[in-house]
Each structure stands twice: as C-alpha cells, then as structure tokens.
Amino acid sequence: MWKFHGPRTWQVQPPALWQHGSVLYIRFEAAEADEHGRRTGIFGLANVLARSGALSPEDWTWWRSNNDWLDAAYPDPGKADPTLFDKSVYPHATCWFKDTAVHLLDRVPGYLALLDRYEVSWREVRSAVPGVVLYEDADQIVVTPSGAPRSTPAVAD
C-alpha cells in the first residue's frame, strides 16, 4: 500500500538522480484510486481541501499564493486543448512533470506537507514512458495510459 502521512522532511532530488534516458516524468498523486480507477494529482487534492473549507486560514493563504504562482509559471494544457480534461473524451488523462522542470518541482514539497497535515495520502510515481502523449510543453506532458504498465513507484511504504 502506498500511504504517506504525517510530518516529514521531503526534498526534491536533483534531476540527474532520476535520469533513465533523455527525460524522466514525475507525478504526485492520490495514493488510492477513485471508483473510476483515477488518481487525482496533488494540486487537485489540495484544491479539494481548499474548496471544501478544510484549510486553516494560514494554509488557505499559502495554497492561494502558490496556486497563483504556478498558474503564472507554466501553461495550462486545458487552454491549448479544452478536450484534454474532458472525462468523456480522455477519462484517464494525467499530467506529469518533466524532470527538467526543477523550478516547478521546487514547489511540490509544500503541497506534500499540506496534504500530510490534513492526512491526505499521496504517492510519487516516475516513468520514462507514462502513456500516450496528448500534450507537451517545456515543463510537462499530459498523457492517457497506453495499456502497458505506466510507471514504477518511487518509494514503497
């Protein structure tokens, strides 16, 4: 089982340690799949906490500030192709960071700590080929599973 709870120090490893070819892709997602077999990404998990009113005022301020920063830091794939996140078109589309997107990966530990504080289980997954690429930019890809095993977990608990 992939569960990660409680306070801990988490640090993004340098990309060189992840390299297994030209690019490795990294995703942080819910430890458990939903009833449709989908795993919500960490930004979606944090957004659910914020929109449900579960966050403390300090955590809500942190979440809002970091979401705004990320929104400005890289493109929204849904604006390039509105069908990417349409569950009737691509029911299992997922977003993955490129290991070279260090400036974005640097923000991830804060989100993981937020999820830990509210006991939301998550896992880290890495893959050289996470699926069929639907969208790509300098920092990320959006894929749909290819049917083959998409990834190997980074850490087992």
Q: Which amino acid is at 94?
A: T
What is the distance, to the nearest Å, from the Cα of residue 150 to the centroid of all Cα atoms in its chain?
Answer: 15
Question: What is the Cα–Cα distance from 154 to 79, expressed in whole angstroms?
Answer: 31
Quote the pLDDT of residue 21. Answer: 54
Domain count, the chain: 1
Question: What is the Cα–Cα distance from 50 to 102, expressed in whole angstroms?
Answer: 25
Condensed to tens digits (0 to 9), the pLDDT of residues 22-40 reads 789 999 999 999 999 999 9
Q: Is residue 7 part of a domain?
A: no
Quote the pLDDT of residue 146. Answer: 84
Q: Is residue 113 part of a domain?
A: yes
Confidence check: pLDDT of 97 > 50: yes
Using an 8 Å Cβ cutoff, are 93 and 85 in contact? yes
Give the pLDDT mean for 115-139. Answer: 96
Buried b (16+ CB within 10 A) or exposed e, 21-39: eeebbbbbbbbeeeeeebb
Indicate the pLDDT class of residue 10, thresholds 50, 70 and 90: very low
Dihedrals phi, psi of 142, to nearest 5 degrees? -120, 130
Predicted TM-score of the model (pTM)? 0.80
Q: Is residue 16 part of a domain?
A: no
Contacts of 63 (CB under 8 A, 6+ apart): 46, 49, 50, 55, 114
- For residue 41, the enclosing domain spans 22-153
Quote the pLDDT of residue 113. Answer: 98
Confidence check: pLDDT of 56 > 70: yes
Indicate the pLDDT class of residue 122, thresholds 50, 70 and 90: very high
